[in-house]
Structure 1
Amino acid sequence: MRGRTVAAGLAVSLAGAAVWRARDVPFSPVTGGSRIGAEFVTRRGLAAEDAELVGEMDDMAEFARPDFDPERVAGDVRRFYERTTEYEMLLRARWHRPFRTGARLAAPVTTRLRQLNLPGPSDEDWHRLGSEFVALDPDVDSRDGARAWIRTDEAGEAVFVALYASHERDGERFVNIAAPLPGSNLSTVLCIGHLGAGEQTGVELTTRAPGDPGLYWVTPPVGFALPADQRFRVWPTDGSVSAPAEVDDPTDGDAVALATHEMWLCGAQFLTVEYAVVPA
């Protein structure tokens, strides 16, 4: 009995710490239902009127700080962030052991949900993604510059439906993303920085930074910090910053940028998603 009491007390303490860390982060209030899908924004009436968007962010200059100068970011990389719809993306997912079994079991769920719908462990082929941006009504999601980035596969089915925005804390601006899930959302806060040290660089966005960055499970209005991390790295292909040898280019030199999206759970890496960025 004493052991159970201690375990229960520890669980309550950990949950409290997770909520405390998330207490001041401005999360999206948008949650999902039993199906997300490419039509989520339209079906839920989330779109703003008469607002056209073409990129993940409007201007990378908004994220400038003493140790991050957007003017140093390679032109193709910065343009991809600011004018994303001018590019196509190729994707390949690699699930790492011992998480491959879990990914295989989750695949039917994400397929039905039409969210976080990555290729399973047995599929390491490259897939083409389509992109669409929709501005969100500020009465629905008041985060700065909130927009939906809807990424679809070759069949037009949703792979990712993510609500992108940003927020500022103590003079530093962070990327703030929410992926709607049933009754909740999975939120990520990322710090952007240089990838490389030369006059022209790539970019790195990571949850491994002080302050707000982290991965959170949100059941509005409460958020819980998760024992998980993720990192995005984007390299230009113009030779100014070299990507690691293991990062492939499936386009025979047509890509203007290569990227990886890596995820960890309790310190163990479980997923690497590779991207190649090609002018549309």
Structure 2
Amino acid sequence: MTFKRIALLHTIGFLVVVIFNVTPWYFLMLTVAQLIFVPITLQLILKKENRLYYFFAIPAFASIFILQTTTTTEWDILLAGIYLLFTLVVAIYGLHRFIQRGFDHLEEFSIDAGMMYLFIGGMWFFASVAEIDTGFSPILTWLTAIHFHYSSFLLPIFVGFLGRLSKRKTYNIICSVILISPIVVALGITFSPWLELASVLLYIFGIYGLIVLVIKSDFPNKLQKTLVLTSFGALGITIIFSLLYAIGNVFGVFALSIDFMLKFHGFFNSILFALCGVVGWSILTPKTKEIKSKFPISSIRGKYVIGEKILYKHLGKESYKGLVDDMGIYLEKSFLSATIIDFYENTNQFRLYSEVNWHNWFKPFAAIYRFFSRNVQQLNLPYTNTQMEMTGEIIAVEDGRKNTRAWLRKIGKEVIFVALYSSHQRNDKYYMNIALPLPWSSMIGILELNQNGEKLVLTSKGANGSDAGIYLAFRQNVFRLPLQEQFIIEEKKDHQLTAKHHMRICSIPFLTIQYNINKRSPS
């Protein structure tokens, strides 16, 4: 079934509901979302993947149609349950998209989050129909269902489409605010009027940021830009009245009635925001900019304990002296410190001293993490910042990649790292491909090597189209993690190197390791 036919079918269905509606008028605000805005928006995402539509969507929309055109019956809970099942399937599909990609391309994650939020809207709708005691009045339960269909489903998806079209510097911040706002709103309604007020202020920042982004972005045609700007602009108006409502709840200075909010928000959200947004993005839906990276992945997976025993189950037949055989595949060797080259090509000839520094905000998490890492014997960094020698050896292993060798590092008798080093080439560029076996999975670090004077910089942050990044591989899925790492290694004195290893999560620093690397004496 084509997109136009689906849109026409749902529009006719909604018009029939309007004619034969047996519920109060304001219930149509949720019905129009369920019968028109949700299915059409999903078609913009799914395109040819119509199995979701035929097997789950048609029964769900038929259930909504029956609910709105018949009086209360004993079948209402079943009908609401069918719609709830549909929203669950949509959420699972959004989660599936996310797992296949991970935290790469925030605009795609925004679309995933919108689909996952829809299930929460389905639960609140089911609670409203089934008259479940949620701790709120029936009208507030129903209004919460509306919130998760409009602000939590449509808005993140529209924001994702905008990111596909034009991703400016401030987009990531604004998109992140939009994504966390529905949760903050829900917490505010549940626990505190002050938190509810803060959530509205957060929404104001995000929505007006979106308006500015739309104004600065180039659209394929003026009509689409006008409709999208009208859509976000409508939210810019309604959010001011939401602010007044939240202020009234906190200070009791004045109060906006729910009846007024229903009429006002009903027009602006249903007609201007949702309808203009759906029509605007239907004119030309931006295509995803996601390019799936395909690089060799280590086949080695651990169980409860990693340690050095895992290596002896996968021993290779070769022997290696260093982490790489020839640094020349990565960059021009003549411009790089000879000692740095020597370290990577003859790693066994060097001694390594480390000083681990967990950042203050992360120390409570590091203490908990240390309890598990000690037992797993992988990524087992000490909690103290005392300088300690890391002893190690290079061991050949076979894991399905080319020339794989493990660098086993210990402090005393305690295993700290088991890292499997290999490389791969994409186009004309070579990447260092490092795997760290984990229980039933593997963490993959793909690093670009760049020269900065005589310093060597290894980074997981590459340009667009680069394979560089940190991933989690499990089964057939490769999931990009919100982690970034950077090594900066330089020669301070003859045959003496220093290196700094910076780790960040969501661009926030949480770990720095300082290394002093000395070449062993000839004896």
Q: Same fold (TM over 0.5)?
A: yes
Distance 1:56 1:22, change over 3 A: farther
- RMSD of aligned alpha carbons: 2.3
**Shift >4 Å, 4+ stretches:** 4-7, 9-13, 19-23
Q: 2:300 pairs with 30, 35, 40, which one?
A: 30
1:28-68 Cα shifts (integer Å, max 9, x gaps) = 111111111123211xx21112x22110101101213xxxx
Q: Is the 8 A contact 2:339 2:495 kept in 1?
A: no
Larger-Rg structure: 2
- Find the residue that maps to 2:404 and give its secondary structure: strand
Identity over aligned residues, as a percent?
Answer: 28
> Larger relative CO (CA 8 A, sep 6+): 1 or 2?
1
Q: Which residue of 2 aligns with 1:208?
A: 461
Partner of 1:241: none
Map 1:234-273 to 2 at 5 A: 234-238=489-493, 256-273=496-513
- Is residue 48 of structure 1 aligned with residue 316 of structure 2? yes
Check whether the contact 1:22–1:223 (CA below 8 A) recurs between aligned residues: no
Aligned to 2:347: 84
Identify the residue that residue 243 of structure 1 maps to in structure 2. none
- Does residue 1:14 correspond to 2:269, yes or no? no
Opposite residue 296 of structure 2, the aligned amino acid is P
The structure that is strand-richer by fraction is: 1
Q: What per-residue deviation string (whole Å, max 9, x for no partner) do you get for residues 93-143 of structure 1?
A: 1111321111110101100111101011xx110010111111113xxx232
1:183 corresponds in structure 2 to 440
Contact 1:23 1:223 in 2 (8 A): no
**Which of 159, 164, 173 does residue 430 from structure 2 map onto?**
173
Q: Deviations over 1:141-186 (max 9, x none)?
A: 23222111101112x2210001100000001100000000000011
What TM-score, normalized by structure 1, do the two folds share? 0.82
5+ residue gaps in structure 1?
239-253
Q: Is the 8 A contact 1:38 1:150 kept in 2?
A: yes
| Aligned partner letter, 2:432 | V
Query: Of 326, 343, 356, which aligns to 1:59?
Result: 326
Greater per-residue helix proportion: 2
Counterpart of 2:335? 72
State the one-letter code of the partner of 1:48. G
Q: How many residues align?
A: 247
Letter in 1 for 2:386: D
Change in 2 beyond 3 A, CA 1:21/1:94: farther
Q: Per-residue deviation at 1:25?
A: 2.2
Shift of residue 12, structure 1, vs aligned partner: 4.5
Determine the structure 2 residue equivalent to 1:247: none
How far is 1:209 from its partner? 0.7
Counterpart of 2:410 (choices 145, 148, 152) is: 152
Whether the 8 Å CA contact 1:38–1:161 is kept in 2: the answer is yes
Report the residue type matching 1:205 in the other structure: L
- What secondary structure, in the 3-state scheme, does the structure 2 residue paired with 1:56 have? coil
**Within 2, Cα distance between the matches of 1:16 and 1:150?**
30
